[in-house]
Amino acid sequence: MWVTVAPPINGDLDAVVEAFWFVEGDVLSLCDEAGRATGQTERLTVGGSDRAVASRLRKREWAAETGESAFSRPLNYSRHGVA
């Protein structure tokens, strides 16, 4: 699946990366395109979404790979004022 790792801001296009994973029992493991585990794992909860867990893990993995973080991003406020 494709995971958005950086939303579009101020005309910049968003950034997406591919996420691959497999589930064994109740443990989700991220893997590369060839199916080799990357070491990122998380236990699935009852009723939890494997897509949501894979997305969260892949975003975390991407941030570690690139050194990117959305923490210091510019904040864009609505021009509509306060209600």
Where do the DSSP E strands lie in the chain? 2-6, 15-18, 20-24, 27-31, 37-43
pTM of the entire predicted model: 0.69
Domain spans in the chain, listed from the N-terminal domain onward = 20-66
Structure-token pair, residue 37: 């585990």
Q: Are strands 37-43 and 15-18 parallel, antiparallel or unpaired?
A: unpaired
Model pLDDT for residues 15-73, shown as the tens digit of each residue:
889 999 999 999 999 999 999 999 999 999 888 899 999 999 999 988 888 776 555 65
